[in-house]
Amino acid sequence: MPIVQCNTISGSFIDEAKWNVSTLQNLREGQNLQVSLPISNQRLIEYVVNLGKMECSVERDRKSKNYTITLTVKIMGFRHMLEPPKKAIESMAIVVPVNRTVENVLLSMLKSKLVDQRFTAALAAK
């Protein structure tokens, strides 16, 4: 099954930011892709709503009242790996956040140890 793997802007893997997709066929290098994730951190929701940016937005489901965050990432390339025992090829699209704000929001949701301390301080001040 093909995978979309998100890295930080500096190139570090974010192990928690890996998603299985049905196909990579229509994806191209340099193309923007949007990823939606459930979010429950109220401070982060308020921060993103106050930003008012297209590359990082929050939506609320009217029925369940759950929140979803949509983040924009850019496809940087593809990797194809041969697995000899299976005689199969694994394909992976490598993506990175389009800017530092998207990166910090994603990291604060998935891997808080890597979040920029200035972002953490700004979030706590809200």
CB 57 within 8 A of CB 70: yes
pLDDT at residue 60 tops 80: yes
CB 75 within 8 A of CB 33: yes
* Distance set, CA 62 to CA 24, 36, 65, 68, 85 (Å): 32, 17, 5, 12, 48
**Burial group, residue 121, by CB count within 10 angstroms (0-12, 13-18, 19+):** exposed
User: Which two structure tokens, joined as six digits, stand for 29?
Assistant: 């290098």
User: Which two structure tokens, joined as six digits, stand for 64?
Assistant: 């369940």
Label residue 126 by pLDDT band (50, 70, 90).
low
Tokens 């990797």 map to which residue? 79
Structure confidence by residue, pLDDT tens digits, 74-98: 999 999 888 788 777 889 999 999 9
Structure confidence by residue, pLDDT tens digits, 9-48: 999 989 999 999 999 999 999 999 999 999 999 999 999 9
CB 92 within 8 A of CB 81: yes
Beta strands in 8-66 (DSSP E): 13-20, 32-39, 56-60
